[in-house]
Amino acid sequence: MTTFAPSLIDTVIRADVRAMHAYAVPDARGFVKLDAMENPFELPVDLRDELGRRLAATALNRYPPPRADALRAKLREAMQVPDGCDVLLGNGSDELIALACIATAREHGSVLSPVPGFAMFELSTRLARLEHVGVPLRANFSLDVDATIGALRAKRPAVAFIAYPNNPTGNLFDRTDVESVIAAARHSGTLVIVDEAYRAFAPDTFLADLPRYDHVLVLRTVSKSGLAGVRLGYLCGPPAWLQQFDKVRPPYNVNTLTQCAVEFALDHADVLDAQAAVLKHERATLGDALRRLDGIVPYPSDANFILFRVDGPDGAATRVFEALKRRRVLIKDLSRGHPLCAGTLRVTVSTPDENALFLAALASSVHEVLSP
């Protein structure tokens, strides 16, 4: 029997990797699952049956089409990708974020993003051995334009990621502020990637603006629109940029079943659009209900989740989170992350029934934690 040698791990594995923790995904079995910004709706039964037949007919013994030309063409049409722009596919948008960092990784290089922001921006940056330049948002979660432009000038990062709307705060940054950052990035020689993961729930996009710029790409995912399980992200922009990232893309990174499922979903995009419309309505209803709860301060959202603050002593948010778990409701505790998120929790907008279960559990939990 081979003796385990931890000293060899210390020698072989990078010190920063040894110090990391693997991405934690809680076991949600038996819970009302409202922690991961998933669409709660399944496809109608007739569409699921038809999809099953299509998936059964795929050639699983063959590698998938390497560049998924048919799917890319459908995405360009369905998402109205501007003429002159192309699409690069990834195994989720996470992979595309990582590819952007790998392709631009130079010695002493850096990547910028506002914080608090999507965790994968910083994680992928550090794994590519680049410096992460995190520019804090203002107290109201708006972009600090002056600080961001100052960081662009001082650090001249290879890439700036801007989530639009932002995760975990849920707000859509002021368009004029984003445009100011984009203009400054051009002067600093920085590629801007606008992450529109929550586009289905937001009133604005930079996709149509791509022809105006030679240093802006738009990143999207199908995860929030009801297809989280198939893992597909896509990066839109000038082919010259995408061709460079394509060089570090693993071959056959988007599997056959994913390509088939997303092509099918695009044929029935009206169903997904109708689901998004329901969730936007429920977001407004849920936000109103949260505002009526004593001890809860919700923030405006243009995504499919709502960030809210627990108005209590230090640690109250985590105690409310744990009380919700005892009531079999799982949301996200952000109170111990970035200082701007101190005392906050995040809940995914779901069906009317699940939202009602959450609100009842939250009211009981807040009473349990905050009552004298």
Q: What is the mean pLDDT of the chain?
A: 96
d(CA 311, CA 295): 5
Does 37 score more than 60 pLDDT?
yes
β-pairing, 296-298 with 233-237?
A: unpaired
pLDDT in tens, 282-291: 999 999 999 9
CB 211: neighbour CB atoms within 10 A?
Answer: 13
Reduced to 3 states (helix: H, G, I; strand: E, B; else coil), residue 113 is: strand
Which of 104, 80, 211, 218 minimizes the C-alpha distance to 161? 218
β-pairing, 110-115 with 131-136?
A: parallel
Does 2 score more than 70 pLDDT?
no
Q: Which residues contact 333 (CB under 8 A, 6 or more apart)?
A: 317, 318, 321, 345
Amino acid identity of 114? P
Angle at 25 between CA 269 and CA 281, to 5 degrees: 40
For the chain, domain boundaries: 6-44+271-370, 62-267
For 247-326, where are the alpha helices, taking DSSP H only? 256-267, 269-291, 316-326
Given its phi and psi angles, is residue 231 left (phi above 0), alpha (psi -120 to 50 degrees) or beta?
Answer: left
**62-267 domain in CATH 3.40.640.10?**
yes
d(CA 42, CA 49): 12
d(CA 32, CA 34): 6
pLDDT in tens, 240-299: 999 999 999 999 999 999 999 999 999 999 999 999 999 999 999 999 999 999 999 999
Amino acid identity of 174? D
Given its phi and psi angles, is residue 290 left (phi above 0), alpha (psi -120 to 50 degrees) or beta?
Answer: alpha
CATH architecture of 6-44+271-370: Alpha-Beta Complex (3.90)
Q: What percent of the chain has a predicted confidence (pLDDT) above 70?
A: 99
| Both structure tokens of 46 | 């007739």
pTM: 0.95
For 57-201, where are the alpha helices, taking DSSP H only? 69-78, 93-104, 119-127, 145-155, 175-188
DSSP state of 2: P
